[in-house]
Structure 1
Amino acid sequence: MKKSLLISFFSFFSFCSTFAQKNLSDIEIDLINRSLNKSYALKKSIHKLSIDSIETKAIRQNFIPTLEFDALYGYGATRINVDIPTVKLPITGIELFEGETRFDARSQIFNANLTAKALLFSGLQVSYGSKASEEKIKAKNYMLTAEKSTIIKDVIDTFNKIELLRKSEIVITKSEERLAKEKERVKKAIKNGLAIPYDRDKITAAELKLASVKVELYGNLSLLYSKLSMLTDVAPSTLEKYKFHLQPWDLNGIENTFSDRPELKALEASINAYGYKLKMNKNSFLPKVQALATLSYSNLFNASLETPYSLPGGENVNLELNKLELFPTYFLGVGMHWDLFSGLKNTNKTRITNIEKTIAEEEKIDVEEKLSLFAKKMQVDFEVKNQQLLLKQKEMEVAKNSLNLARKSYREGLISITDLLETETEYQNSTLNYYKKIANQRLVALDLLISTGSLNVENLKK
């Protein structure tokens, strides 16, 4: 069985060698690139990646020193009530602080600070946090590749459908031409009494049926051009001038396996990200160390202190301060913050991260098994489609020979017009089925490329 499959497979590629063209033309590659550039879903994913990249840089920039400036101006007033042991002055005999004493103070204050801070040690939070963020970006980049594959497949599938309808149009047009010639021959035969109007009417019915199919075909073709225009931002009138190649695909030179799928690589990066996040949580007990430098200016002015005391002459004792200026005031130092007990918050975070990492690891194993099976299925499907294509080609050739024979037999009166029209229909169907098989083979080829992570513009250029 395997030997026969292999022989058929090589037979198919010798069949494909009759085509001198690449899998995709330069025009088709250009339209695919246009669709990738236009895709709003892709742009959204790229914008999110840009945000993640900025956030990763922001994590690493925690070690960059910061410089702060703050200033304060205000007016303050307070009432001070004190009750301390009484003090009797030796000469005057005045008693100070007798009972409860009240002072009223007021002042204007201005203060300015210039502070520089620098994180010296983050407890490894910055290091592991930035690495986790980088792995997260890797995962999203791999998923971006998968998104591109989906867009590429959609665009190529649209090419296939357009060209399939064009091939159908050619087959129908040629059938119409054959029927028109046959109809003219029948009309002459009717005049000479060699045929009956029934034959002419059967041909007319067949022509009307083909015309109906053509109307539907043009409607579908218009929709496909509109869809391709939406995907590529190229006007339908321009797309109608392009020719898309509907030919079997040759996938020689593709060496990737299912393990190269971007989805698997994304999961691997996610697992690494959880690993770094786990290390970050486990090291949260380490202290954070920060250097600090401050330059300050302070000014206390227009200050006064009213006391309840009086001088011997009866004048109240009130103290005034015109200005008390402190500048420059320097402070240089190193500070440490150490969470000795956080109420089990870090312990809970570590447990959650462990569970998330386990989920990602199990998901990766599950996806690997499914993708392995899918890749094998696509390989078998591709080989089957290649063999079916060979058979459909032979079937089309047989149908064409049968049609030529039927036309001769009808003219010699050996078969009826119904038999001829049935043979014509069989030839149409076999030809259209052949082109449908090519479209199916190309679609399976796309799935095979996706199953190995090989569907990208560079591989399509080969």
Structure 2
Amino acid sequence: MKPYRGALVMLLIVLVTALPSITKGQQLDPILKDLINKGLDKSHGLNSNGFEVEQAKVDQQLAKSVFLPKITLNGSYTHLNDDITFDENTTTLLTETQKLVIKDAIGLPFNSTFPNDIPLQEVPVLQNQNILRSSVDVDWVLFSGLEASNALQASKHKEASLNYVGLAEEDKIALKIIETYDQLALVKASKKVLKSTENYLNEQVLYVNKAIENGLATPISRNKIALAKQQLEGKKLEFEHNNTLLIEALHQLTGESRVDLQMLNPQLHSFAVDGEVSGEKRNEIKALEEAEKATQYQAKMLKSNFIPKVALKGHYEFLEENLSLLDPKWYVGVGLKWNVFDGNQSRLKRRKIQLETAKYREQIADANEMIALGISKAEISYEAALMNTKIVQKEVELAKENYEMVNTQFKNNLASINEVLDALNDVEKANFKLQQSYFQERRAVTDLLHAKGILNY
């Protein structure tokens, strides 16, 4: 009897160490926190969302840059088939007018013959055949009709929406890593249960061997224990396979090396959730609200398309000798552009955006309802998990007491080895069930914290 009681004490120690500790508030394992951070850094989805956030920031800079002057340097060379000149009548008129001016200057009557020894100046061409131009233009928007400011606000709300989308994606990644980590903890705890069962069977082998030597048992009893040990090895192999799959899943989620993950020894810890803790607005809701605000400013931006816009225009020519007689060397002006009617395009686009805004409102209402339902469901699941844990703990106690009683009867030849193995199997099943109950309890707590928007990691 003494070896048996020693094995029972050892089993109790294993079970006590396997019991989850109750943690007040949410305190994740530091190793788990590190894995979550690595998972967030590795996530391709989060990295892609980060690029979209940067794009929204660039859109804001583009909206601001509308009011910066645009300076353009221009250069060109053009060869015409001929010089551009006045027509023959205009040329004749300019020549005769020149003669009249000269006659008047030297005191000749206007109807007298023009002296041949006085040279006349040729009528200049309007544009030379070879044109080399070099200039600078300045375009400066002074008032955009509020279009740029509305575009800036729309981009800001889009950036905020994308940031909340990223936070919501982080929650999903964290939940997946926590669940996988807890599954690994469940496998580790199950292996401890199998180890304790193996110790029980080893004690039974010793007892049966002595009983056979003393003629109190048959070799069939030993064969049945050997079969039970083989079945146990099959269960251990199954859990080893599960352990390998979970390690691979964590490696994929976090990028942590498989060697380091193999060294993990996670434990199932229960979280005591304060029912009075008020929830916070979920990131999914915040993302939809910011997206709705962005569409509202987009609608305002289209509406401002009908507000007059004011801009300054400047031009300066560097090569004056290549200018035509009609081209100015420089000019500065202020212009106004007023879109009065655009064929209903702005109105229709604004209507389309208004429908998108209404869609976001419906999504927000639906999300709030689903979150409220999720909180209620998570609270019920948590309460059910706590109750289930208490029930299973009683089942474990009863299974152990039954095994102790049957084992005592077997050693006094009042029970068969089959009854002993059945009782031992009941203990094993109860312990597995207890670990699964702890796992479900932790799942319910995590879901509840996430539903309330207070999942911290």
User: One fold, TM greater than 0.5?
Assistant: yes
Inter-CA distance 229–105: structure 2 relative to 1 (3 Å threshold): closer
Backbone CA RMSD of aligned residues: 2.9
- Whole-angstrom CA distance in 2 between matches of 1:114 and 1:177: 92
The match for 1:55 among 35, 43, 59 is: 59
Distance 1:65 1:81 in 2: 39
8 Å contact 2:23–2:272 — kept in the other structure? no
Q: CA–CA distance in 2 between the matches of 1:335 and 1:145?
A: 46
Candidates 62, 66, 71, aligned match of 2:70: 66
Tell me how far apart the structure 2 counterparts of residues 411 and 230 of structure 1 sit (CA, whole Å). Answer: 51
Question: Are the aligned partners of 2:143 and 2:310 in contact in 1 as well (CA < 8 Å)?
Answer: yes
Q: Distance in 2 between matches of 1:113 and 1:402?
A: 102
Amino acid at match of 1:420: V
**Local SS of the residue matching 2:138:** strand
Is it true that 1:276 corresponds to 2:282 in the alignment? no
Deviation at 1:151, TM superposition (A): 0.6
* Pairing 1:144–2:166 present: yes
1:39 aligns with 2:43: yes
Q: Percent same amino acid among aligned pairs?
A: 27
Question: Secondary structure of 1:113's match?
Answer: strand
Contact persistence 1:296–1:327 (CA under 8 A):
no
Return the alpha-carbon distance in structure 2 between the equivalents of residues 392 and 445 of structure 1.
18
For 1:357, give the aligned amino acid.
T
Quick one: structure 1 residues 451 and 18, their matched pair in 2 at CA, closer, same or farther if it must change by over 3 Å?
Answer: closer
**Cα 1:105/1:69, change in 2 over 3 Å:** closer
TM-score (norm 2): 0.83
- Hey, what's the Cα distance between the residues in 1 that align with 2:32 and 2:21? 20
SS of the residue corresponding to residue 61 of structure 2 reads helix
Distance 1:181 1:249 in 2: 37
- Residue 460 of structure 1 aligns with which residue? none
Q: Which amino acid aligns with 2:308?
A: P
User: Does 388-397 or 423-432 show the bigger shift?
Assistant: 388-397
Distance 1:286 1:379 in 2: 54
CA distance, structure 1, for counterparts of residue 54 and residue 378 of structure 2? 35
The one-character-per-residue Cα deviations of 1:237-281 (angstroms, maximum 9, x if unpaired) are 212222212121223388343x61111111111211121112112
How far is the alpha carbon of 1:299 from its aligned partner? 4.3
Q: Does 1:187 align with 2:214?
A: no
Q: CA deviation at 1:129?
A: 1.0
Query: d(CA) in 1 for partners of 2:199 and 2:317?
Result: 98
Q: Superposition pairs for residues 225-374 of structure 1, below 5 Å?
A: 225-252=247-274, 255-257=277-279, 260-300=281-321, 329-374=329-374
Q: Which letter maps to 1:232?
A: T
Report the equivalent of 1:7: none
Larger relative helix fraction: 2
1:374-453 equivalent positions in 2, closer than 5 A: 374-453=374-453
Letter paired with 2:363: E
Structure 2 distance, partners of 1:295, 1:82, is: 30
Distance in 1 (CA, whole Å) between partners of 2:25 and 2:406 is 35
In structure 2, distance between residues paired with 1:252 and 1:245: 22
2:24–2:271 Cα contact (<8 Å) kept: no
Q: Contact 2:385 / 2:437 at 8 angstroms: preserved in 1? A: yes
The one-letter amino acid paired with 1:158 is: T
| More strand as a share of residues | 1
Contact 2:24/2:273 (8 A) holds in 1: no
1:107 corresponds to which of 107, 122, 129: 129
In the alignment of these two chains, the number of paired residues is 413
Gapped runs of 5+ residues in structure 1?
1-14, 93-102, 302-322, 458-462
**For each residue in 1:163-193, what CA deviation from the matched residue of structure 2 results, as whole angstroms up to 9, or x when unmatched?**
1111111111111121122112212211221
**Could you tell me which of 31, 34, 38 is aligned with 1:30?**
34
Matched letter for residue 301 of structure 2? M
Task: State the Cα deviation string for residues 27-86 of structure 1 (Å, max 9, x = none).
Answer: 121111111111122111111211121122211221122221111122222477958599
SS of the equivalent of 1:293 reads: strand
Change (3 A) 1:114 1:52: same
Offset of residue 329 of structure 1? 2.9
**Mapped partners of 1:296, 1:52: distance in 2:** 39
Q: TM-score, normalised by structure 1?
A: 0.82
Is the 2:188–2:266 contact (alpha carbons within 8 Å) kept by the matching residues of 1? no
Given the superposition, is the C-alpha separation of residues 54 and 440 from structure 1 closer, same or farther in structure 2, using an over 3 Å criterion? same
Q: Tell me what 2:197 maps to.
A: 175
Q: In 1, distance between residues paired with 2:126 and 2:141? A: 44
